Homo-oligomer: A and B are copies of this chain.
């Protein structure tokens, strides 16, 4: 079992099970956003679809992963940075979707610029999704 995955589970007071460690290890290893389907196919041994749904929901609740709003409304999940805590996400970074390789990554280093909203509006969370070509596909 991936030690890093186990540590993350421990840090969030979650019991360590094969499915959780395995799914988490997949996120750590792939370094990009994954869909439910991808997870289902890349985990070996495979886990029940329902287990994956429940595991992902748990991880989101605990602030371990977050989901990414994509232009075509498929559901993607990616690891959160450390600042995320249960119930409150701080994913103020840019999500980049590459048209060529289809990969969705979180650009942690790139900050989202401040925006000025119309009078009376108050921002709580800001999501930014950029489509284009990534550094590897030029």
Task: Please report A residues at the B interface, Cβ cutoff 8 Å.
Answer: 67, 69-75, 94, 96, 99, 107, 109-110, 112-136, 138
The 3 closest A-B pairs by CB, nearest first: A120-B135, A69-B69, A113-B113
> Which B residues touch A70, using CB under 8 A?
69, 73
> Which B residues touch A114, using CB under 8 A?
113
Complex Cα spacing A127 to B127, Å: 8
Number of this chain's copies in the complex: 2
Which chain B residue lies CB-closest to A136?
B120
B117 touches A96 (CB 8 A): yes
Other 9 A-B pairs with CB < 8 A, given A67-B72, A73-B73, A122-B132: A69-B70, A69-B71, A70-B73, A110-B116, A110-B117, A115-B130, A120-B134, A121-B133, A127-B130
> Which B residues touch A120, using CB under 8 A?
134-136, 138
22 contacts between A and B (CB under 8 A): A67-B71, A69-B73, A73-B75, A94-B117, A99-B124, A107-B117, A110-B115, A110-B116, A113-B115, A117-B130, A118-B135, A120-B136, A120-B138, A121-B132, A121-B133, A121-B134, A123-B132, A125-B130, A127-B128, A127-B130, A127-B131, A128-B129
